[in-house]
Each structure stands twice: as structure tokens, then as C-alpha cells.
Amino acid sequence: MYLLLAFLSLIPRAPCLGELKAFVVAHSHMDVGWVYTVQESMHAYAANVYTSVVEELMKGKQRKFIAVEQEFFRLWWDTVATDIHKQQVHQLLQEGRLEFIIGGQVMHDEAVTHINDQILQLTEGHGFLYETFGMRPRFSWHVDPFGASATTPTLFALAGFNAHLISRIDYDLKDDMQKTKKLQFVWRGSPSLSENHEIFTHVMDQYSYCTPSQIPFSNRSGFYWNGIAVFPDPPKDGVYPNMSSMVANIKKRAAWFRTDDVLWPWGCDKQFFNASVQYSNMDPLLDYINKHADQFGVTVQYSTVSDYFQALYNRNLTWDIQNFQDFLPYSTEPFQAWSGFYTSRSVLKGIARRASSLLCAGESFFTQYVQKYPAGSVCKFWALQQLRSLRWAVSEVQHHDGITGTESPKVKDMYMNHLMDGIVNVKKLMASIILDTDNLCVTKDFRTGPQILPSDMCTRNVEQYIIVYNPLAWNITTFVVVAMSYSAVSVYDELGHPVPAQIQGSAESPFTYDLYILVTLSGLSYQRYSVKLSADNESAFIARSVKYGRKVIKHADRQSRRLIPVLNDCYTVMLDQNTNLMHSITDRKTNQTVEVTQEFLEYHVNGDVRKGPISDNYLFTPNGSAVEESKAVGLEVVSGNLVREIRQYFYRNTTAQDYMYVAYSRIYSVPGGYDDKLLCHRIEQEYRVGPLELNREAIFRTSTNLNTKQTLHTDNNGYQMQKRPYKVFVNNSVARNYYPMVQTAYIEDDRMRLILLAERSHGVSSQGNGQVEVMLHRRLWNNLEWDLNYNLTLNDTSVVRPMFWLILGTKSAADVLYQSSALALEHRPVVMYGELTGNYPVTLPANLHLQTLSIPGWTYSSNHTEQLQNIYKGIRKQEDADFRRVLLRIRHMYEVGEDPVLSQPATVNLKSLLKGLGTVELVEERSLTGTWDINTLERWKWKSAQHISKGGWETRFCFLFSSPKLLIGRCWYFCWMLQLKKQSH
């Protein structure tokens, strides 16, 4: 085996003077899906960018270029590049004239992506670059994501980057930073890691990443001689600009930074698709300025990002520190808050996260199969391709115009198709593994899809076998739900013992039933359950339902409340029979009661640019406060011995036939002898929203009597929490107080905390004391010419069904629950049909999460010298993938000081942990994306104004013994490559 480990960093700012030197960075910003699909973009310009740039770089030793998104480059490399092009790329990389920046599959969004998926897409890109070229990116170029997350400095420091570059931050903040020359700093993203994993950060000035288009060089915008890419065929014309304008712009920008080193990006979206025209005009312009340097006071040179940061680093200045804060939300003008995309295309956001969760399960499932069944009949290379198809799709959709929902409908369809194809492929793989490990057959049921059954069941479909796989490395007790056609069934485990279960009428269909099965699973293991038609005393409990009349919310008598209790061992939920709304929740352990009311509301937005600011895919600009559109609520309470479900139907009025919204709330009870810690302490809520009326944005607001002072806490990318005090702005305060909720949000006062956990990203806000509201869905149309031209009006008529877990408790109790509960929601058990044999559970301590157990299929040597020699010799074959090499990432879930016990370091014995997989032969500690041996990774240490330690752990926490055994503190991640000894079947 061998191992990967990663860390965090932050950086500040300092002063300097001298001759102005402009570092001209040639680039082309290529969106991996936005207005046009990847295939359309490859045809129109992306392939031409790499072909023409490589050819033109070879014609002038002074010329340079940076490449960012690997998806386009990989497609070009595999399908377009000639052998000569490939030789030239190798040469240009060795000469430092072509540089890969970031190196991920895409330039991912920072607001609504989960940290798991950010790491995946970086790993995909970095693995390709290291396999193909033996190179590892050292700098970022995150110029287009809509706001910056505090996870990013952590992530990029862990990936081995020396410096980080961003652009899109709030317009008024950027203006202040420009005036005070504070656009460069050391960014510390994690309070636990502090200076151990900080990163130097450069914020681009007001011109952002494009060559200035405001300067009147010609009838073309900016310096774009090769024009604007036209789909499907780009033009070949070009125009020449005025030379002195560039000098004036360089001097203007120099005044905003502390040194005389000016980063001058040359390019923009879809540029350099005809690099011959571009470079042939750039060369004489740069030559002209340098020949008149004495007159202009400026020199210019072609550069890469590393050239610029190297010059800055050589200044040896002392920089200010940005501590533990992000740059969200992002606004470009007073009425242009980019907080709408936190919720845009909610269906895509949900599918993307489900795909990511399935990929995680499929990776560990396949890894166990390869090790336990080395002679198995499932072709390992075919299996790897199935996993790679979903890795590619999940990586691709993390693009900042993908999961954000800011793409055109046809691009959304492209993402969905790639995700669904990948999901089907991984499900095929998991089914194939099941088929290979027992005597099974496949039946076709067009209602439920293919089912894998024991061969003796192929002739009598009266018994259903269900395999439930736990992708987490802890023991879990939870419920899985199976749709049934019969109400009288029994459930049994592998030994034939009855299993607690409950069946009830489905809320969605009068012809089906929902069977809730209580499952207890060890980490990374599975159990088989059989479901039989039954009428005996071992049958699943049949729940009963009580329906209450529809009530008008506003006319309710607040003085004479009639309360209905719905309870389990942890909570008592009170429903107000006068309104059919929730009234309160009592934490039964502490006997603390919090008044809680939940309602659906809608923001109305303008669709006519002649009447004021508009909302679109990106922007949220409400006309005023949220409006209560549903006036009446219907109520049904389903009661059983295991599950109690509250069904609330929201209608426009008391006589409306169709409801507008639905909320299902469930609480669970388990028999004695079962671990109910996580299951009991959550109220599971599932909503049904849509289709909305046009220009409506639907929210679900939870109002409490907690004295929160309008302060909200939300997560950065499912990693760490950010405090969000309410801020008052002259304009658009509602939208500018919306934040991304990737996984977690909570409000609290001195006594209690109310937590919401989500299985997809949403916008979230606290617009009043004791309130938290989550935006669930958006349907928008406007007549803004830009939106109409690019088909970005978000006329989304879909129905969305998001799920949340609500947790209420004291701060200390909530701290223990929310991290593990969030992961339990993210990685719910996978239900399959069939049976398996041989089970080797994997269990970690309660404060650790096994994030990755995967066979990446990398062909590169982990010895860097050997890898470079292999590349030089041309050794890179698909069949060289070593299926004994396992990628293992373990994450410590708790911050320093968050919990007196769980925040402490934990010890893991890898031999014991993985004994079911085989003998650990070798452990290598690697960087986060796997391309660096951590012992050889040396990142630049930038001088900062302070070196404050928060009392966290040291940079290195890994002590390898012969076991091997290791101590994991909140270094945030440990990442290993493990090599396992071959086993016989």
C-alpha cells in the first residue's frame, strides 16, 4: 500500500518600488460547458486553441501560454493532436513555455461544490498530467468562479500549490483593496491548520482575467485580433491596435499593487483559437514597448503564472494575512448579487451529488472485490472504465457553469446525460460483482428495473433478496425504503431471523406501499435481507393514518391552540391543529422546548429590464420580502411502531384541488438493543416543490423563538463552518445576505442549536431573528438581451424533491451529532438486489471519515525519477494499471476545540483496518491528489505579518510503524497509496 497526506495555508501583503515590469500571461478561458456543449466548443474553437498555440509557440522562443481546464486538453490530446504535436508539447513543457495551471479536469465552482468532488476533479486532472508528462501543477488560476470559498486555500495548499490567483470578489471590497494595495495576501482557510497550510493569494484587479476591452484599440474589443469565436465555425480575420494604450493600462494597474511587477492577462473567453494571428500581432507590440522602455518606463515579457509569482516571491516581502474567511456572496453591482445560482437547477444539483455518492460506494465495492476475488470473472479493465465514466461525469459537472445551474438548457442536458450514463455504468459494475460471487439470475421488471435473484427464485418470484451496502467506515443503524405492491410482507436477515420493518401507504401513489426496513451494517460491508409475502405474526407492522381537515393559516385562533404530539425517544413534535403547521419541538433529553413553525413562501422577481433589476441563473434580486402564496394546509399523520410521518399539503386556498407544496417529516424509533444515536436524533424532512409560476423563487422558512440576533452559520463545501452575521446594505439586503449551503446550516442562541443538513446545495439566509430560510427552487424568465442571446433565462418547470435532516439540541450535543449525521446523509446505504458471500467490515474511530477507498488505475510510477525516465522512453500503456494499488484518504471531521473528545487526534492501525482486503506491503504518504511523495513536496513559505498558532497540530501527524500505525490529527486529510499483496482466490 501507499499513502497520501495534505495540508492548508494562508498569506498576507507588503511594499516595493522600481522599474515597472509587465508579465504578459497569454491564456484562453474555455468553459467546460456553458452556452455550448463540450462537443460544440471543441469544434468551434477549443481544438484549434491547442493546435494553433502549440504550433505558434514553436515559432518563437519568447512566446508562452498557460493551459487550465484538462477536459478540453485531454480530448485534444486523445482525438486531435498528432504525434508531432505531442512531441512539441513535451518540449514546450520542459522549456517552461507551456504551463498547466490548476491542472484539474475543470475550473470548479467554489460556492456549491462539495469538497469530495473538488478533490476528485483535481485528482483526475493531476493524474493525467503526471502520467502523461511527469509534471505537477504548482499554481492556481481560479479567475471565473462566482466568489471564493475558504476551503480553496486549504485544498490548493494540500495539493502542493505555491500560490493562488482569484478574481471574482465583491465589487466594493475589491475597490477598497485596490485603493489600499491589499489585493495580495496570505490566506489562511482553516482555523485548525492555521499557518501550516496557508497560501499566497493574488486577487486580480477590476479588469479581471480579460485583456481590457474598455480601451478603444480598434473596432474589435481589446486585443483580440482573431475576433470572437462563432459557432460552429470561427472567422480568421484580425485587426491591429494602438500600442501606447497597453502602457497606460499597465501603469494604471501598477498603482493598485505593492510591487512593480504587474500581472497582465492577455486573452479572454474562447480566445487564441487562431494563435497565428494573435501571436503575430502580439510580438511586434511587445517588441515596440521594450524598444521604447526608457520613454514608457515599462518593460514587457511573455510569461507564465509561475514566472510572475517567482518574481513576486523573490522580493521577499512581508504580507498581510486573511484569516479564516471567504469571499461570498459575490456582487458586481448594488442590485447584482450572485446568490441565485446557489439554487439554480436544483434537479441537476441533486443528481450530481447522488452520482458522487454512488461513485464513492462503487469505488470501495470494486476495491474489495478485486482484493477478495483476484480470480473473479469481472474484467478489471472493463470495471475500471465504468468507474472512470462516472469519475469523468462527476468531475465535469463541478465546472463553474455546471453544477451552478448557470448553463443553457442543452448544456444542462449534456451534464445530465453524462451523469446518468455514469450512474448506469457503475450500477452495472456493482450488479456484475454480485452476479460473479453467487449463483444468481437476472429478471426484468419494467416497474422496478432489472433485479438480480438467486437462481432458485427465477421460477417463483415470491421472495425478494435485497443487498444493502454501507459505504461508510462506521457501523450504522438506519432505515432503507423499498417500494412494494403488497401490504402484508415479512423481512428476514441472512440467518432467517425476523427484521423490524414497517409498511405504509405511499404518499405519492395510492397503488403502492413503502416498506421501511431497519438495517444494521458494519463499515464498508453489506447484509442480505429477504422480503416474503406474509400474513403471520412476523409481518411488518402496518402503519395507520389519520387525516385532518384543511385549515386556513391566517384565520387560526392563536388563543385556543389544540396541539397534536408526534414523538419518539428524542423529540416531541407538536402540531397546531388550528393551522396544521408545526408548533414546537421538545428535546426530551434536556426537556428544552423550542417554538418552531415551518412554511413555504415565494419571492416575486422582476422579468422586465425596463422596470428594474432582474433575477436570472446567476442573480437573485427580489422585489421585496417573501410572500405566503399558500393559504391553507392539509394534514395527515401516519403512525407506526418504527416510523411516524407528518404529511403537510399546502394549497392556494381551502377549495383548491391541487396542492402547491408538500412537506413530509419523519421521526424514527428503534427497538431495544439497537444503536439509535443518529437515527433518533433527526427529523427527516422531504419536500415536493414545483412546477412554479413564472418569476417565482420558492423558499422553506423555519421560524423559532431562539434569540439568534439574525446570525447564521453555513458550511464551506461540506468542510468547515462560517459565521454569517446579518449585514444591512443600502440596496438588495435580502439577496446579499444569502449564502451557499452545500451541506450544513444552523442557527443558535445561548441554550439551543437548530441544524439543517442537506443532500444537495441550496441558498440559505436568516432574514429575521430566530429564522432560517432555504431556497428550494427557481423559475425565471426575463427580457435581458444578454440572457436571451445565450438562452440563460432559467425557465425551469421541473418538480424538485430535496431532503433535509433537522437536528435540535444543546450546542455540545449538536457538535457531536452534526458531522457524522451530515456524512450519513451524504452516503446513505446503496440498495441492490441479489446476494453476496464473504464480508470484511472496516471500522474507523468515531471522529474519522474514510473518504476514499479506490483503485485509481494510475499507470505512473510513484518514484518521480523513474516516472520521468518512463515518459522519456515512451512507456505508458493502458494495461499497466496495477490493481493492487489502492488510494486511501482519511479525514478528521472535527476542528480544534469543537468537541473535548472528538477533536482529539485518533490512532489508526492500517493492518487491522484493512485486514479484510489483504496484506499491506507498502505505504506511501502522498499529496492530496496523489502525484507527490509528501517527503519531497516543498511549498514556498511566504513571509507574513504574523505567525499566530491556534494551538493546532503540527504539520505532520503521521508516524509509520511496521504495523503500519498512524496518528491522525486535524491535518484535515491523510492520503495514502497502498500496495496490497496478491492473494489467491
- How deeply is 702 buried, as exposed, middle or buried, from its count of CB atoms within 10 A (0-12, 13-18, 19+)? buried
pLDDT confidence tier of residue 894, bands split at 50, 70 and 90: confident
pLDDT at 910: 77
pLDDT confidence tier of residue 56, bands split at 50, 70 and 90: very high
Q: Average pLDDT, stretch 803-816?
A: 94
pLDDT confidence tier of residue 961, bands split at 50, 70 and 90: very low
Among residues 414, 967, 330, the alpha carbon closest in space to that of 620 is found at 330
- Whether residue 963 is predicted with pLDDT greater than 70 in this model: the reply is no
Among residues 433, 413, 317, 327, the alpha carbon closest in space to that of 373 is found at 433
- Whether residue 906 is predicted with pLDDT greater than 90 in this model: the reply is no
pLDDT at 554: 79
pLDDT, one tens digit per residue, over 694-744 is: 999 999 999 999 999 999 999 999 999 999 999 999 999 999 999 999 999
pLDDT at 233: 56
pLDDT, one tens digit per residue, over 677-687 is: 899 999 999 99
- Asked whether 951 and 886 are in contact (CB, 8 A), the reply is no
Q: Cα 132 to the chain's mean position, in Å?
A: 27
Q: Cα 591 to the chain's mean position, in Å?
A: 37
- Whether residue 382 is predicted with pLDDT greater than 60 in this model: the reply is yes
Tell me the residue type at 58: M
pLDDT confidence tier of residue 903, bands split at 50, 70 and 90: confident
- Whether residue 651 is predicted with pLDDT greater than 90 in this model: the reply is yes
Q: Average pLDDT, stretch 797-818?
A: 94
Cα gap 361→586, rounded to integer Å: 36
Q: Cα 334 to the chain's mean position, in Å?
A: 28
pLDDT at 951: 33
Report the length, in residues, of the chain. Answer: 985
pLDDT at 966: 46
Among residues 531, 510, 480, the alpha carbon closest in space to that of 642 is found at 480
Which of the following is catalytic: 144, 616, 676, 933? Answer: 144
| Residue 880 known to be catalytic | no
Among residues 175, 185, 155, the alpha carbon closest in space to that of 11 is found at 185
- Whether residue 946 is predicted with pLDDT greater than 60 in this model: the reply is yes
Residue 17 DSSP one-character state:
-
Q: Average pLDDT, stretch 560-586?
A: 94
pLDDT at 2: 30
pLDDT, one tens digit per residue, over 332-372 is: 999 999 999 999 999 999 999 999 999 999 999 999 999 88
Q: Average pLDDT, stretch 812-817?
A: 90
Cα gap 156→118, rounded to integer Å: 10
pLDDT at 962: 29
Among residues 324, 328, 397, 330, the alpha carbon closest in space to that of 154 is found at 324
CA separation, residue 2 to residues 674, 855, 930, 972 (Å):
37, 12, 10, 18
pLDDT at 948: 45
Q: Average pLDDT, stretch 569-573?
A: 97
With pLDDT > 70 as the criterion, what percentage of the chain qualifies? 86
Cα gap 517→238, rounded to integer Å: 68
Q: What torsion do the CA atoms of 814, 815, 819, 822 make, to the nearest 10 degrees? A: 20
Residue 692 DSSP one-character state:
P
pLDDT, one tens digit per residue, over 518-562 is: 999 999 998 889 999 876 777 899 999 999 999 998 755 656 779
Q: Average pLDDT, stretch 372-378?
A: 87
Q: Which of 169-183, 247-261, 461-475 has the lowest mean pLDDT?
A: 461-475
- Asked whether 681 and 810 are in contact (CB, 8 A), the reply is no
pLDDT at 228: 64
Backbone phi and psi for residue 48, each to the nearest 5 degrees, phi listed first: -65, -35
- Asked whether 825 and 741 are in contact (CB, 8 A), the reply is no
- Whether residue 413 is predicted with pLDDT greater than 60 in this model: the reply is yes
pLDDT confidence tier of residue 235, bands split at 50, 70 and 90: very low
pLDDT, one tens digit per residue, over 583-627 is: 999 999 999 999 999 999 999 999 999 999 999 999 999 999 999
Cα gap 666→636, rounded to integer Å: 12
CA separation, residue 240 to residues 243, 251, 284, 806, 894 (Å):
9, 21, 10, 61, 57
- Whether residue 857 is predicted with pLDDT greater than 60 in this model: the reply is yes
pLDDT at 460: 40
- How deeply is 946 buried, as exposed, middle or buried, from its count of CB atoms within 10 A (0-12, 13-18, 19+)? exposed
With pLDDT > 90 as the criterion, what percentage of the chain qualifies? 66
Say how many CA atoms lie within 13 Å of 451 toward its Cβ: 17
- How deeply is 17 buried, as exposed, middle or buried, from its count of CB atoms within 10 A (0-12, 13-18, 19+)? exposed
Residue 486 DSSP one-character state:
-
The phi-psi region of residue 920 (left if phi > 0; otherwise alpha if psi is between -120 and 50; otherwise beta) is beta
pLDDT, one tens digit per residue, over 126-175 is: 999 999 999 999 999 999 999 999 999 999 999 999 999 999 999 999 99
**Strand-pair partners of 704:** 596
pLDDT at 883: 85
- Whether residue 457 is predicted with pLDDT greater than 60 in this model: the reply is no
pLDDT at 872: 84
pLDDT, one tens digit per residue, over 202-232 is: 999 999 998 876 554 434 445 666 666 655 5
pLDDT, one tens digit per residue, over 290-349 is: 999 999 999 999 999 999 999 999 999 999 999 889 999 999 999 999 999 999 999 999
Residues 6+ apart with CB under 8 A from 416: 348, 351
Cell of residue 260, nine digits: 512593480
Characterize the bridge pairing of strands 489-492 and 526-533: antiparallel
Radius of gyration in angstroms for the set of CA atoms belonging to the chain, rounded to a whole number:
29
pLDDT at 453: 47
Tell me the residue type at 919: T
- Mean pLDDT, the chain, rounded, equals 87
- Whether residue 238 is predicted with pLDDT greater than 60 in this model: the reply is no
pLDDT at 670: 93
Q: Please give the full DSSP string across 393-462, using - where no structure is assigned.
A: HHHHHTBTTTTTS-S-HHHHHHHHHHHHHHHHHHHHHHHHHHHHTSSEEEEEETTTEEEEEEGGGSS-TT
Tell me the residue type at 736: R
pLDDT confidence tier of residue 945, bands split at 50, 70 and 90: confident
pLDDT at 324: 85
pLDDT at 221: 45
Residue 505 DSSP one-character state:
E
- Whether residue 764 is predicted with pLDDT greater than 90 in this model: the reply is yes
pLDDT at 219: 40
Element at 733 (helix H, strand E): helix 733-736
88 or 438, which is more confident: 88
Q: Tell me the pTM.
A: 0.91
Q: Average pLDDT, stretch 97-102?
A: 97
pLDDT at 215: 55
pLDDT at 964: 38
Q: What torsion do the CA atoms of 72, 78, 79, 80 make, to the nearest 10 degrees? A: 80
Residues 6+ apart with CB under 8 A from 160: 136, 138, 927, 928, 929, 931, 932, 937, 939
- Asked whether 162 and 138 are in contact (CB, 8 A), the reply is yes
Q: Please give the full DSSP string across 280-336, using - where no structure is assigned.
A: HHHHHHHHHHHHTHHHHTEEEEEE-HHHHHHHHHHT---B-EEES--B-S-EEETTE
Cα gap 318→945, rounded to integer Å: 6
Q: Cα 845 to the chain's mean position, in Å?
A: 25
Characterize the bridge pairing of strands 184-188 and 321-323: parallel
Angle, to 10 degrees, between the axis of helix 115-133 and the axis of helix 380-397? Answer: 120
CA separation, residue 299 to residues 259, 284, 302, 566 (Å):
14, 13, 11, 74
Residues 6+ apart with CB under 8 A from 236: 226, 274, 277
Cα gap 623→732, rounded to integer Å: 9
Please tell me whether residue 810 adopts helix, strand or coil conformation.
coil
**Strand-pair partners of 491:** 531
Q: Please give the full DSSP string across 735-767, using - where no structure is assigned.
A: HHT-EEESSEEEEE-SS-EEEEEESS-EEEE--
pLDDT at 793: 87
CA separation, residue 120 to residues 141, 352, 390, 402, 858 (Å):
18, 13, 11, 15, 14
The phi-psi region of residue 353 (left if phi > 0; otherwise alpha if psi is between -120 and 50; otherwise beta) is alpha
User: Which residue do the cell numbers 435532516 mark?
Assistant: 805
